[in-house]
């Protein structure tokens, strides 16, 4: 075996020092500042109108679906996309009054549209609250499309498994099983409706928070625990958010406990994001700051979720920073 020459050893040493450095370059920090309380604008300069919605991640892109409240009542459903939650591209009105469905904008309106992707059918599926002006219909609706930006077609409208259903959300578990969760029985209970494999219809119902009059439910699954944040039913006015946890989505939910301040920092939950990166995962509470000061100017608020002594915590920050690639966040002045 030949001995390494002096130059050879120098070369080896240089390589050994370089390899970790190259690794570190790949992990370079890239902080994005999230500012709360301001109006979001899209790349055309228009105000982002996507309230009561949710987010769907497709590769590095996040799609935001929500109510267009520019004209207050009878919202159309808008879709935007972003990679950093700061630059928003308007993808179009994916469900439109009178166009997508003859009753929409006439005898029915949509609230809280929620978007999912079904890997089996390769369809994008929207569930939402499908309502009459006086909230007497208490129905839901389902729309479906081959591509995220539409066109969406109505698949079904009605009361899920015959249940009066209002404020709603969806939750897709790690195994792809999806649920529609809504405020049922004249705002008395929450109904957790397990959906069929194609996400088109409910197959079973479980009553959660019985008699506790909760709405705006948002569920996230972290480790072996499900967390559900919800509000009381006080219309557009904010109230104390509460949290419940369970190891099983259908049973064993804890009592409700307060989270955040007594008006949820002037928000009502719309969704909880799971942002995975190379170093960690950031969970983000997203809420609507309704009537700020009127419906069209309602804001979308994003707050990083923290855990203290194993408990989920929600605190308010005017601004904070996230590194999407690494999946970490920091409060703005932290070094
Ligand atoms: C809220 C509900 C909203 C909307 C509003 C109408 O309680 O969360 O989605 O229905 O009432 O007053």
**pLDDT (tens digit per residue) in 218-247:** 999 999 999 999 999 999 999 999 999 999
What residues does ligand 1 touch, defined as CB less than 6 Å away?
52, 111-112, 167, 215-216, 233, 235-236, 268
Mutate to test the pocket of ligand 1, among 139, 217, 235, 266 (most ligand atoms within 8 A of CB): 235
Residue-wise pLDDT tens digits, 66-113: 999 998 789 999 999 999 999 999 999 999 999 999 999 999 999 999
Cα–Cα distance measured from residue 179 to residue 170, given in angstroms and rounded to the nearest whole number:
6
Q: Atom 12, ligand 1: which residue's CA is nearest?
A: 235
Cα–Cα distance measured from residue 56 to residue 256, given in angstroms and rounded to the nearest whole number:
28
The residue behind tokens 């190259």 is: 22
What is the mean pLDDT of the segment spanning 305-333? 94
Q: Which of 12-26, 94-108, 122-136 has the lowest mean pLDDT?
A: 12-26
Per-position b or e across 109-147, b if 16+ CB within 10 A of its CB: bbbbbbbbbbeeeebbbbbbbbbeeeeebbbbbbbbbee
Phi, psi of 147 (to 5 degrees): -130, 155
Q: Is the dihedral of CA 206, 212, 218, 219 positive or negative?
A: negative
Nearest-atom number in ligand 1 for the CA of 268 is 8
Q: Is the dihedral of CA 328, 331, 332, 335 positive or negative?
A: negative
Cα–Cα distance measured from residue 55 to residue 220, given in angstroms and rounded to the nearest whole number:
13
186 CA distance to ligand 1 middle (Å): 13
What is the mean pLDDT of the segment spanning 271-286? 98
235 CA distance to ligand 1 middle (Å): 5
112 CA distance to ligand 1 middle (Å): 9
Residue 334 clears pLDDT 60, i.e. is over it: no
**Tally: H helices and E strands in the chain:** 1, 23
Please say whether the beta carbons of 108 and 158 come within 8 A: no
Nearest-atom number in ligand 1 for the CA of 215 is 8
With bands split at pLDDT 50, 70 and 90, how would you rate the model's confidence at 6?
Answer: low
Contacts of 333 (CB under 8 A, 6+ apart): none
């Amino acid at each position: 075996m030949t001995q390494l020459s002096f130059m050879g050893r120098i070369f080896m040493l240089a390589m050994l020092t370089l390899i970790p450095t190259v690794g570190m370059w790949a992990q370079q920090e890239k902080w994005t500042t999230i500012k709360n309380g301001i109006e979001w604008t899209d790349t055309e300069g228009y105000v982002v109108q996507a309230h009561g919605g949710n987010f769907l991640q497709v590769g590095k892109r996040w799609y935001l679906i929500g109510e267009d409240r520019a004209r207050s009542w009878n919202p159309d459903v808008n879709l935007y996309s972003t990679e950093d939650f700061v630059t928003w591209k308007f993808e179009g009105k994916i469900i439109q009054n009178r166009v997508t469905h003859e009753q929409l904008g006439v005898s029915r309106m949509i609230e809280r549209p929620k978007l999912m992707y079904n890997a089996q059918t390769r369809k994008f599926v929207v569930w939402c609250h499908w309502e009459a002006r006086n909230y007497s219909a208490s129905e839901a609706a389902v729309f479906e499309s081959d591509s995220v930006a539409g066109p969406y077609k109505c698949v079904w409208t009605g009361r899920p498994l015959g249940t009066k259903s209002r404020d709603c959300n969806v939750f897709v578990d790690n195994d792809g099983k999806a649920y529609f969760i809504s405020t049922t029985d004249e705002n008395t209970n929450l109904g957790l409706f397990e959906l069929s494999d194609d996400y088109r219809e409910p197959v079973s119902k479980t009553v959660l928070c019985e008699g506790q009059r909760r709405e705006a439910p948002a569920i996230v699954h972290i480790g072996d625990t499900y967390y559900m944040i919800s509000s009381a039913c006080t219309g557009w006015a904010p109230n104390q958010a509460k949290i419940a946890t369970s190891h099983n989505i259908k049973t064993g939910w804890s009592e409700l406990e307060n989270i955040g301040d007594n008006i949820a920092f002037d928000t009502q939950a719309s969704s909880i994001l799971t942002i995975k990166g190379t170093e960690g995962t950031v969970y983000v509470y997203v809420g609507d700051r309704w009537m700020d000061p009127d419906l069209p100017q309602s804001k979308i608020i994003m707050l990083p979720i923290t855990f203290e002594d194993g408990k989920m915590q929600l605190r308010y920050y005017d601004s904070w920073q996230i590194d999407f690639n690494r999946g970490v966040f920091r409060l703005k002045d932290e070094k």
